[in-house]
């Protein structure tokens, strides 16, 4: 099965759209615990409630070569649990550099999916799509960070006001590919790549409910990875109601650090179940 099919299969079997984010911070973890042991314990505890795991590469890279080795252990653990692995790497380069990124993430680490930055255009995305046609590349579109709108909302007519209705933004999706706010131009580019490769998704932040309908209209049928739920205060109801049928929403800190003592794994499992159920209640 492709990565998207594997995610859909877990969503249907386990009634879950939750992705458990793995952002191990030694300052927040239980003391005297290695990051790979912490992450694997959380993964084993939350697997019954997760359709995917999402390690954030930065938290591992910050620990040097030991962090990279820990990331390899985490990736192996995901394969052992048969849970799809989305590597949050936000890579975005062209040519041989992008191909090497693809080899590292989809090859050496064996990730099933990754996040990709489209800032350099389609040339920065296609090497990942070509490397593994079963893997899924989630292209950064309307991100969850507050300042994302500074560029993503930019259009040929100047800044797009946050107060514009989703209906008006949706109408703009019918314009020429180069028109409209940047996040819709990215969505249309991703839709075009999907027609050629079929293994493209979008990152759409839960903090951007005003953009969701427009993105769906600009790129119908694409899978979504949705960060911003939990600590960032994203709108879970909007994600449940406006996201595609196989939308994946990510929670990291709200699960990882539900408790920071010896009961952290059990607390993580309880938090994961709570998030899964909260999403299902809003659909």
Rounded to whole angstroms, the Cα distance separating 175 from 26 reads: 48
* Catalytic residue (choose from 54, 69, 90, 273): 90
Is the distance from CB of 255 to CB of 42 less than 8 angstroms?
Answer: yes
Rounded to whole angstroms, the Cα distance separating 106 from 86 reads: 10
Secondary structure of residue 49 in the 3-state scheme? helix
Q: Has 133 been annotated as catalytic?
A: no
Scanning the structure block, which residue is given the tokens 């300042």? 147
Is the distance from CB of 17 to CB of 276 less than 8 angstroms?
Answer: yes
Is the distance from CB of 275 to CB of 252 less than 8 angstroms?
Answer: no
DSSP class of residue 30 equals P
Pairing, β 113-116 against β 86-91: parallel
Is the distance from CB of 190 to CB of 118 less than 8 angstroms?
Answer: yes
Positions annotated as catalytic residues are 90
């Amino acid at each position: 099965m492709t990565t998207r099919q594997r995610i859909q299969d877990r969503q249907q079997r386990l009634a879950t759209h939750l992705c458990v984010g793995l952002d191990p911070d030694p300052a927040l973890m239980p003391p005297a615990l290695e990051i790979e042991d912490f992450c694997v314990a959380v993964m084993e505890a939350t697997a019954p409630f997760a359709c995917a795991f999402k390690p954030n590469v930065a938290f591992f890279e910050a620990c040097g070569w030991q962090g990279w080795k820990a990331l390899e252990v985490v990736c192996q653990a995901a394969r052992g649990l048969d849970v799809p692995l989305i590597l949050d790497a936000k890579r975005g380069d062209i040519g041989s550099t992008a191909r090497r990124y693809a080899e590292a993430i989809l090859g050496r680490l064996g990730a099933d999916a990754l996040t990709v930055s489209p800032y350099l255009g389609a040339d920065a995305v296609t090497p990942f799509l070509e490397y593994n046609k079963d893997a899924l590349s989630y292209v950064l579109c309307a991100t969850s960070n507050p300042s994302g709108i500074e560029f993503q909302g930019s259009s040929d007519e100047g800044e797009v006001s946050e107060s514009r209705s989703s209906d008006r933004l949706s109408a703009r999706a019918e314009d020429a590919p180069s028109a409209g706010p940047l996040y819709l131009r990215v969505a249309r580019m991703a839709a075009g790549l999907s027609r050629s490769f079929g293994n493209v998704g979008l990152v759409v932040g839960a903090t951007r409910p005003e953009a969701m309908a427009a993105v769906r209209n600009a790129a119908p049928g694409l899978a979504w990875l949705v960060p911003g739920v939990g600590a960032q205060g994203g709108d879970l109801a909007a994600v449940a109601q406006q996201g595609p049928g196989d939308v994946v929403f990510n929670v990291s800190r709200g699960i990882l650090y539900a408790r920071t003592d010896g009961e952290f794994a059990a607390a993580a499992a309880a938090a994961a179940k709570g998030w899964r159920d909260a999403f299902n209640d809003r659909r």
